[in-house]
Amino acid sequence: MALKLYKFKAEQLSRLITIKQQFADNTRIQEIVDLHLIPKLQHLRVMDIADYVFSLYLASREFKVFEELIPSEETVDQLIENKSKLYYFKAKYMCRLMRLRKELKAKYPEKAERIEEIVFDLATRLHVLRKDWLTMYLFSATLACKEFSEFCALVPSDDEVKKIFVVPKEE
């Protein structure tokens, strides 16, 4: 697993350097890369992937170029072997949310601002998600489904919830 993470980090670093070179005249992009993304990437562990994706998301709100660095769910599946951990759930659903964000903004350009508001709410909830806050995330995801049915993909199945958020049996 460590080899996959090192490869991911090296590829991300290479892409960040390319972005820095492409936007050498933009001091804000230089600052985001140098002060935020490279330090996060340097110390990245598999349990921090959701946090890194959240940072990329925040950067992409300001500059679309950072969107291309957001990994896919498949990449997360390859990087994180232990699928029963909270950090896997957070990373998987954060990447799914970023994919949906892109798809919905392309499908409904006139509603881009509202989509971004919903995505920001869900991304923030995922970013700080703890086991005891799952109901708040589920509530928000369910509300998002009412506006855009595509967001229903962010509601985990019962089995997935049971697998990750093991609830002790009542006696």
Separation between Cα atoms, residue 27 and residue 41, nearest integer Å: 20
Whether 16 is covered by a domain: the verdict is yes
Query: What pTM value is reported for the model?
Result: 0.89
Whether 113 is covered by a domain: the verdict is yes
Q: Under a CB-based contact definition with an 8 Å cutoff, are residues 148 and 154 in contact?
A: no
Instruction: Determine the pLDDT at residue 132.
Output: 84
Separation between Cα atoms, residue 68 and residue 11, nearest integer Å: 12
Amino acid at site 115: I
Confidence bin at 168 (pLDDT 50/70/90): low
Cα distances from 143 to residues 88, 101, 132, 147, in angstroms, run: 23, 16, 19, 7
Q: Is residue 120 scored above 60 in pLDDT?
A: yes
Residue 135 burial by Cβ neighbours in a 10 Å radius (0-12, 13-18, 19+): exposed
For residue 101, what are the domain limits? 2-162
Separation between Cα atoms, residue 5 and residue 76, nearest integer Å: 10
Q: Is residue 110 scored above 60 in pLDDT?
A: yes
Confidence bin at 2 (pLDDT 50/70/90): low
> Regarding predicted confidence, which is higher, 57 or 3?
57
Alpha helices in the chain (DSSP H): 2-22, 27-31, 38-42, 49-62, 73-79, 86-107, 112-127, 134-147, 158-164
DSSP state for residue 165 in the 8-state scheme:
S
Sign of CA dihedral 11, 12, 14, 19: positive
Whether 170 is covered by a domain: the verdict is no
Question: How many domains does the structure of the chain reveal?
Answer: 1
Separation between Cα atoms, residue 87 and residue 97, nearest integer Å: 15
